[in-house]
């Protein structure tokens, strides 16, 4: 009995020890789970900020309008007897058996499949013809085709992070102006999340300087994205993009939209930029622009700017066809030289409609 009691006490000690070990492991697992949850919260917060300031990194592939204009139409669907052949094969496995229901309905099924394929082909032909007509209009520089392409093929409606409203004005076949109402400052989280040294989740109010810096990068990143998408969509030489934000008038307390940044983009300048490594705010120095999207340290309000217009563009930002403009200027100079040599022979100087260029 003493040996049995000793054995029982030893087993109890072992059981209690095992219980303590299991309890310790459960606590470690619970702690690990809590740490994983904290890490997930911080990663989600950092990802949310990264999305807001990295809009410029994504862009659609450029559209090859020449390829669309010269694309061959899809071939017409062939009439096949798939159901009939399948039914005949099954029937051959049971010679002498009466025709099955499947074999009797096979011709009608094949006809239905062919009719469906023809209807789909007709829709495809209509879509190809519409895209070919649009492509020809784009290649010809038709402003109506430009507007149609922006309305139907631009991805801006799917990019909710860009803003609440976007308006476009097609000035010429080489210049498009865009006004973007950027998301308000509410898109920037007010609370900053981080892990403590002990691995616990903590949060604090984000410093105003960092808060406005992130919003500045968000606005500049959104404007860059708009320019990249427009150049990928259309054969443009200049994009004028103006960012408008909803701010509160300190005198009335009412919200109103104010322009804070206006940028002139060219494809040559964008081609020299590494979008994966740039700072959106600092990158504005590469372009002709007005505004800096910086809030007042005292009031927190933004400075209103006068948006750029086509008339404000420097001489290097030509919105007309450069070769055609050079040819016209050269022809006019020749006329003046001929007039001076002719001595008194008056030549009529033609007027050139710049809008038609």
pLDDT in tens, 134-187: 999 999 999 999 999 998 887 787 676 667 688 999 999 999 999 999 887 888
Same domain, 324 and 311: no
Task: Give the pair of three-digit tokens for residue 300.
Answer: 């927190």
Same domain, 273 and 170: yes
pTM for this entry: 0.72
Determine how β-strand 238-248 pairs with β-strand 201-205: unpaired
Same domain, 310 and 324: no
State the DSSP H helix or E strand holding residue 163, giving kind and residue range, or none if neither: strand 163-172
Domain that holds residue 351: 320-357
Q: What pLDDT does residue 168 have?
A: 93
Choose one of 154, 181, 214: the last residue of a domain: 154
Q: In 3D, which of 91, 273, 240, 82 has the Cα closest to residue 169?
A: 240
In a domain, 3, yes or no: no
Provide the number of structural domains found in the chain: 3
10-residue mean pLDDT profile of the chain (357 residues): values are 60 64 71 76 86 88 92 84 80 73 78 85 88 93 93 77 82 93 84 84 88 91 94 94 80 77 94 92 94 79 89 70 49 65 51 43
Alpha helices in the chain (DSSP H): 2-53, 65-69, 82-92, 101-139, 143-153, 208-233, 267-271, 280-283, 322-342
In a domain, 194, yes or no: yes
Q: Taking a C-beta distance cutoff of 8 angstroms, is the pair 300, 208 a contact?
A: yes
Work out whether the CA dihedral 216, 60, 313, 138 comes out positive or negative.
negative
Cα dist from 232 to 150, 178, 200, 236, 334, whole Å: 11, 15, 45, 9, 39
Buried b (16+ CB within 10 A) or exposed e, 112-139: ebeeeeeeeeeeeeeeeeebbebbbbbe
Q: What pLDDT does residue 351 have?
A: 46
In a domain, 338, yes or no: yes
Choose one of 154, 174, 196: the last residue of a domain: 154
Q: What pLDDT does residue 133 have?
A: 93
Same domain, 191 and 287: yes
């Amino acid at each position: 009995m003493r040996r049995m009691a000793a054995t029982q006490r030893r087993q109890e000690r072992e059981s209690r020890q095992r219980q303590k070990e299991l309890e310790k492991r459960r606590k470690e697992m619970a702690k690990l789970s809590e740490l994983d949850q904290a890490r997930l919260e911080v990663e989600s917060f950092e990802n949310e900020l990264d999305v807001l300031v990295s809009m410029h990194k994504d862009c659609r592939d450029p559209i090859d309008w020449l390829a669309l204009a010269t694309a061959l139409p899809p071939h017409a669907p062939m009439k096949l007897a798939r159901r009939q052949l399948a039914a005949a094969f099954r029937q051959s496995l049971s010679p002498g058996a009466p025709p099955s229901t499947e074999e009797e309905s096979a011709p009608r099924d094949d006809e239905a499949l062919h009719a469906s394929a023809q209807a789909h082909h007709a829709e495809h032909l209509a879509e190809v013809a519409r895209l070919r007509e649009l492509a020809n209009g784009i290649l010809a520089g038709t402003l109506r085709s430009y507007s149609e392409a922006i309305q139907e093929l631009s991805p801006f409606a799917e990019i909710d992070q860009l803003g609440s409203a976007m308006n476009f004005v097609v000035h010429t076949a080489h210049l498009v102006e865009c006004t973007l109402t950027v998301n308000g400052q509410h898109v920037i989280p007010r609370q900053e999340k981080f892990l403590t040294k002990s691995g616990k989740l903590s949060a604090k109010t984000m410093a105003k300087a960092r808060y406005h810096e992130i919003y500045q990068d968000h606005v500049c990143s959104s404007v860059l994205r708009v320019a990249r998408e427009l150049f990928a969509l259309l054969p443009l030489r200049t994009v004028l993009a103006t960012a408008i934000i909803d701010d509160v008038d300190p005198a009335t307390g009412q919200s109103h939209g104010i322009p804070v940044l206006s940028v002139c983009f060219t494809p040559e300048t964008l081609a020299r930029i590494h979008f994966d490594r740039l700072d959106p705010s600092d990158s504005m120095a590469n372009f002709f622009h007005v505004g800096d999207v910086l809030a007042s340290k005292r009031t927190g309000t933004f400075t209103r700017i006068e948006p750029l217009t086509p008339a404000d563009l420097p001489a290097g930002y030509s919105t007309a066809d450069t070769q055609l403009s050079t040819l016209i200027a050269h022809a006019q100079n020749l006329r003046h030289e001929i007039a001076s040599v002719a001595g008194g022979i008056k030549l009529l100087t033609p007027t050139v409609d710049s809008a038609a260029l």
